[in-house]
Amino acid sequence: MIAELTGMDVANASLYDGGSSLAEGVLMAHAVTGRDGIVLSRGVNPLYRQVVETYVEGPSLRITSSPLADGITDGDALKKAVTDKTAAVVVQYPNFFGCLEDVVGAAEIAHAAGALLIVVADPVNLGLLEPPGALGADLVVGEGQGLGVPMSFGGPNLGVFAAKQELVRRMPGRLVGATVDLDGQRGFVLTLQTREQHIRREKATSNICTNVALCALMATIYVSIMGKRGIRKVGELSVAKAHYAASAFSNVPGVRLRFGAPFFKEFTLQLPKAPDRVVKRLAKERILAGLPLKPFDRQYKDCLLVAVTEKRTRDEIDAYAAALAVAVA
Domain positions in the chain = 2-220, 228-328
281-317 CB burial, b ≥16 within 10 A, e <16: bbeeeebebbbbbbebeeebebbbbbbbebebeeeeb
Q: What gap in Å lies between CA 74 and CA 66, rounded to an integer?
A: 7
Q: What is the pLDDT of residue 212?
A: 84
Q: What gap in Å lies between CA 129 and CA 131, rounded to an integer?
A: 6
Phi, psi of 313, deg, nearest 5: -105, 165
Tens of pLDDT, residue by residue over 301-314, are: 999 999 999 999 99
Q: To the nearest 5 percent, what fractions of the chain are helix, strand and coil?
A: 40, 20, 35
Tens of pLDDT, residue by residue over 269-327, are: 999 999 999 999 999 999 999 999 999 999 999 999 999 999 999 999 999 999 999 99
Q: What gap in Å lies between CA 329 and CA 96, rounded to an integer?
A: 28
2-220: CATH, from 3.30.1330.10, 3.40.50.300, 3.40.630.10, 3.40.640.10? 3.40.640.10
228-328: CATH, from 3.40.50.150, 1.10.540.10, 3.30.1380.20, 3.90.1150.10? 3.90.1150.10
Do 2-220 and 228-328 agree at the fold level?
Answer: no
Tens of pLDDT, residue by residue over 161-200, are: 999 999 998 888 888 888 999 999 999 888 877 665 666 6
State which amino acid sits at residue 292.
Answer: P
**Angle at alpha carbon of residue 233, lines to 212 and 71, rounded to 5°:** 75
- Cβ atoms of 173 and 208 closer than 8 Å: no
